[in-house]
Structure formats: structure tokens, C-alpha cells
Structure 1
Amino acid sequence: MEPLLLQDMRRIFLATLLLAGLSGYAQDYLPSATRITQTVNYLASDRLKGRGTGEKGGEKAARYVKQQFAKIGLVPGNHDMWFQDFTFDRGKHTGLKSRNVIGYLDNGAAYTIVIGAHYDHLGRGGLFDGKYPVGQIHNGADDNASGVAGLLELARYYTENSERENFNFMFIAFGGEELGLQGSKYYVKHPVDSLANIHFMLNMDMIGRYNPERGVGIGGYGTAEEWPAIFKGVTGDVKFFTDAAGKGGSDHHSFYMAGVPVLFLHTGGHDDYHKPTDDVPKLEAVAEAGILRIAIELINRAMGYQKLNYAEVK
């Protein structure tokens, strides 16, 4: 039998371990650099061969996102279906098939926040008419496996944080972005719910190559009357700057043109953009987790308003 003092010390030690474990478990919904890396490792692996539209790798990526949405606890967001299939033409390439992946968090609210990122990349370059090296795998770790990782982290946060927010959430992984924003263009023409019921749309495209001298750019600052007030006093572990524009070369553009306020997170261009060298070892996962924490603060602040008022950027 142990002396009483030793027993007490052991009980205190075990209780401390238990509380630490419970605390760690309770915070598991916060953005995680480890999970971000795991997601990017899969999506940007050679086995997916660059996630090309109409290629098996792109189809695998869409199924992966669907599986992760279901695992997190979302429900199918397209009238009880996970996928929103569509076809499109691009130049001499006709009848191309792709799909959006849509997960939904129903909080019984009147309005919905849309959070998006495109999952496709260049594949092996075959649909780009020689613009990129044909036959070489373009893994697209930053563009845009990093954005999909962010999409999944935000889905986890709002599903598992034990809060019932006063907005619904729709999480969309867009297909066909690299071929002309095809997935988001299709969605705004065939929305699951009226576009008038969208509070705002947040888009993440290339958020994995943080440069501390530049910071992360947050576009769309001018697309809602309320954004300046929402941004006031926001700080984080990473540096950021704002840009008024709602237009741009990613999927938020489609929503802005349809009259929806937007935000766009982007860590900027780099020498590996649209090259086979955009690979996982260059990912800045810890910084990406910091970017997502800023996104969460902005989303939470925006939920303090009943509905954002769209503003056209001059």
C-alpha cells in the first residue's frame, strides 16, 4: 500500500493528465496544421495525377471530399445528393464532365453562409492546348489542395464546435475552376437555394504558401457595406491586408457577379504556380491554420449582422 501523500500526488497527476486530454479533445475542431498537411498530402499525391477535370484523379478528389464531408457530419447539400454534376464546353473541348461537391450544415436559419474552394487542378495538361507540359503531373499542392484543406477545416469547426450558429452553412468544393470557373458559374445558375438567401460567400484559393513579408490577401473588402466595420480590430498570428475587388480569377467572382457579397483568401503567386513543382514540401501548414483562424473570426463577426448588404465595387 502506498503512503497517503504518494497516493494523493498520483491522483493529482492522473487528474491533470485526464483534464489535459479532455481539453485537447475539446479543442480538436480548431484548424490543425497536421490535418491540413494530411489533406494536401492526399490530394496532391501522384496517385491523383493532378486532379484533372474529366480524369480519374479529379473524380477521386471529388469522392474524397464527399467522404470527408460525411465523416465531419455534414449532410448532402444538393437536394439529398452530395454531387452537382454538370457538363461544359471549352474551345475545341466539348461535353466535358465535372461536378461540385456540396455539404450542408442546417441550423434552421433564414440565411446561409457559403464557403468554397475548387478541388480540380491541371491534371497532366491535356485540356490546355499546350499551355502547360502535357504528360507531366501537376499536383497543385497550393493550387488548390490547400484551399480544400481549409474548406474541410472550416466545415469541421462549425460542425463540431458545440454552437448552434444563427446561420446555415453550405460548403462547396467546385470542379472545373481551372477551365474557366465552370463549377461556380454552374452553381450560381442552378443554386440549391435562392442566391438572395446567401449572407456572403467566402472562397479559398491558394492559401498554402504564406509569405510573412506580404501577408495573406483578403479580397472582397468592398463588396458589402458592413465589411469595414467587421474587419475593424481583427488581428491574428499571420499578417493580412485587404483588397476591395469582388472580381477575380477564382470562384468568388461568379458569386460577386450574381450580387452576393464575397471574401477571397489568397497567399499570392509564386514561381511554382501552374507548374509540376507545386508540391507538398513547400506547404506552410502552420501559417495556413493561422489564416483559417482569421477567417473564423471574420465569419463569426459577420454573423452579428442579420444579412450583409451587397455593394458594387467601382
Structure 2
Amino acid sequence: MKKVLFTGLCTVALFIGAQAQDTIPSASRIQRTVNYLASDKLKGRGTAEKGGVKASRWVAKAFRKLGLQPLVDGSYFQDFTFDRNSHKDIPSRNVIAFLDNGAARTIVIGAHYDHLGRAGLFDGKYPVGQIHNGADDNASGIAGLLELARYYTKNNTKEPFNFLFIAFGGEELGLQGSKYYTNHPVMPLDKMHFMLNMDMIGRYNPERGIGIGGFGSAKEWPEVFKGIQQDGIKFFTDAAGKGASDHHNFYMHQVPVLFFHTGGHDDYHKPTDDAHKLQAAAEEKIIKLEIQLINRAMTFPELHYTEVK
């Protein structure tokens, strides 16, 4: 009888341990995500290319597996078109999912899934026909988005804020997805606690550290950041809320922002930005740092937007 009870307790403990492990950000899972999104199969996830559409469907499927809600008429997709130079009515889409905690305010977590594809829409700026896999830019950010989505849906805690997870399309062609979303939000922007954006978080340089922009976009950020540290990760802050990534459009609509970026490198916007160069173990730690900041920010009932002069 005691042996059966002990065996049962061990089984329960192992199950709980496996659940906890499944929740924690994982370097191996990050690497698998990037391996797929930055594979030649997706041909660089170009906007208006088959690989970009496949990537959007894959992200939607991942959201569905996590049990997140679709918000656009029962769909995860917010479709839109835009013009760029001589190219008209270019189709793209955002992939949007919601974690409803019954709260009054919502935290937005975002990253763009598109990359240059085979560069056909860039008017010769990049080598046309070559696959630009975009492992760091921005398969790494989507990996971070999915790890945070997993953490907040599986941590057995009902947070005091809702979460809106958005994978943006058309970022490389002028922040088109976030521009469309902030002009056509599925939830009121004045009910957003803040927006956290990840763009190129997969090539950590320990000498530089990771930059966190938007530090000046909310009155409370200095207090939120007090005492925050993560083993193996150095970070520095930048006040700017504006920038060349999707947080910019939220900031312009008076939503406080944070922007995570590990910096430029020789493979930026080149066909050599491949998955094997990802530093997944460092990215795992960066996501753990983000969780600390998100959790600290949730101790404030509201963040107050400030304009960075």
C-alpha cells in the first residue's frame, strides 16, 4: 500500500515537474522555431510570397495549440493591403491571439514574422532571387513571442492583465503591419498597459549587451527596472520610443513601449542570416529577463505614457 502511494506521489511530482519545465523558456524550443522559420522551405518569409503566407499560418497554428483566442471574426488573421513605391495593393496579414484574464487592461507582446524573402519588392536594394532566411531578423523575435505566449498561458496563474500576442506582417516594407493594426485595433489602444516588441534578439554580444528602448515612454519604467537582473545577460536602456520597428507605431499612439534588440551584425539583411548562427541559450535568458520586467510592470495598475523629447 505504501509502495503504491509512494509510486503515485512520484508520478504526480514528475508530471508537475514536466509541466513546469514546459512553461519555462527553452533554448532548444527557440532553436527549433528558428530552424523552421528560417529554413529554405519558407524562402525568407517574404511579404506577398508563399513562404510568408506559410509562416503566418504556422504562427496561427502555434497560437491555436496554446489555446489562445482568435479575435478577428473568429480568425487569427488580420488581412490588409498597402502600397510601396511602384508596388500597389501588396497583400499581407497580422496574426493576432488573445489571452483573456478578465482584466480591464491588456499587455501587447509583438514581433514581426516577415523578412526579405527573395527581395522582389525592394527595387534592387537586395540581391533578387536569393533567399534571405532572416534567422535573427526576425525568426528570433517570433521565437520569443511564442515562448512568452507559452509561459503566460501555461504558468497556472491568472495574471491581473490580459495579453494580446501579435505577429506583424510587412515590417520590412515600412512597419506596415503595426501601422495597420494601430489604425484598426481589435481592442482600444487606451486600454493597453504597454507594448513589448522583439526584433533581432538572437545574436547576443556580451560586450554590448542587449539594448532596451522605450525607457522614456512611461513615467514608471525607471521604477519597474529597479533591481532587475538576469544571470548571463547585460542590458542597457535607451529613452527613445520611436524607432525602426513595430513598437514605433504604438508609441505614436501614446502606448508605453519596450523594444528589445541585440544589435546589428555582418549578416543583417543578407542571405547569410541563417539559423545555425542563432545564440539560443542567450535568447532564453533574454526572454527570462523580459518575464521579470513584465511581471514587475503588472504590479502597477497603470503605466502613464510620456513623450520623449
| Both structures adopt the same fold (TM-score exceeding 0.5) | yes
Match of 2:190 among 187, 193, 196: 196
Alignment of 1:206-285 (within 5 A): 206-237=200-231, 238-285=233-280
Match of 1:25 among 19, 42, 60: 19
Aligned length: 308
Match of 1:300 among 291, 295, 300: 295
CA apart distance, 1:121: 0.2
Are 2:72 and 1:78 equivalent residues in the alignment?
yes
Task: Indicate the residue corresponding to 2:113 in structure 1.
Answer: 119
Structure 1 alignment gaps of length 5 or more: 1-7
Give the secondary-structure state (helix, strand or coil) at the position aligned to 1:277.
coil
The change in CA–CA distance for 1:232 and 1:124 in structure 2 (over 3 A counts) is same
Structure 2 alignment gaps of length 5 or more: none
Distance of 2:85 and 2:91 partners within structure 1: 14
| 1:259-279: CA deviation from partner (whole Å, max 9, x where unpaired) | 100000000000000000000
CA contact (8 A) 1:39 1:145 kept: yes
CA apart distance, 1:22: 3.4
Distance of 2:74 and 2:269 partners within structure 1: 35
Task: Indicate the residue corresponding to 1:180 in structure 2.
Answer: 174
CA apart distance, 1:26: 2.3
CA apart distance, 1:306: 1.0
Q: Percent identity over the alignment?
A: 69
**Which structure: larger Rg?**
1
Distance of 1:255 and 1:79 partners within structure 2: 23
| 1:147-173: CA deviation from partner (whole Å, max 9, x where unpaired) | 000000000000000000111100000
RMSD across aligned positions (CA): 1.8
CA contact (8 A) 1:77 1:170 kept: no
Give the secondary-structure state (helix, strand or coil) at the position aligned to 2:227.
coil
Give the secondary-structure state (helix, strand or coil) at the position aligned to 2:22.
coil
Name the amino acid aligned to 1:261: P
CA apart distance, 1:20: 4.6
CA apart distance, 1:15: 6.5
Taking structure 2 as the reference length, the TM-score comes to 0.96
CA contact (8 A) 1:51 1:119 kept: yes
CA apart distance, 1:193: 1.0
Taking structure 1 as the reference length, the TM-score comes to 0.94
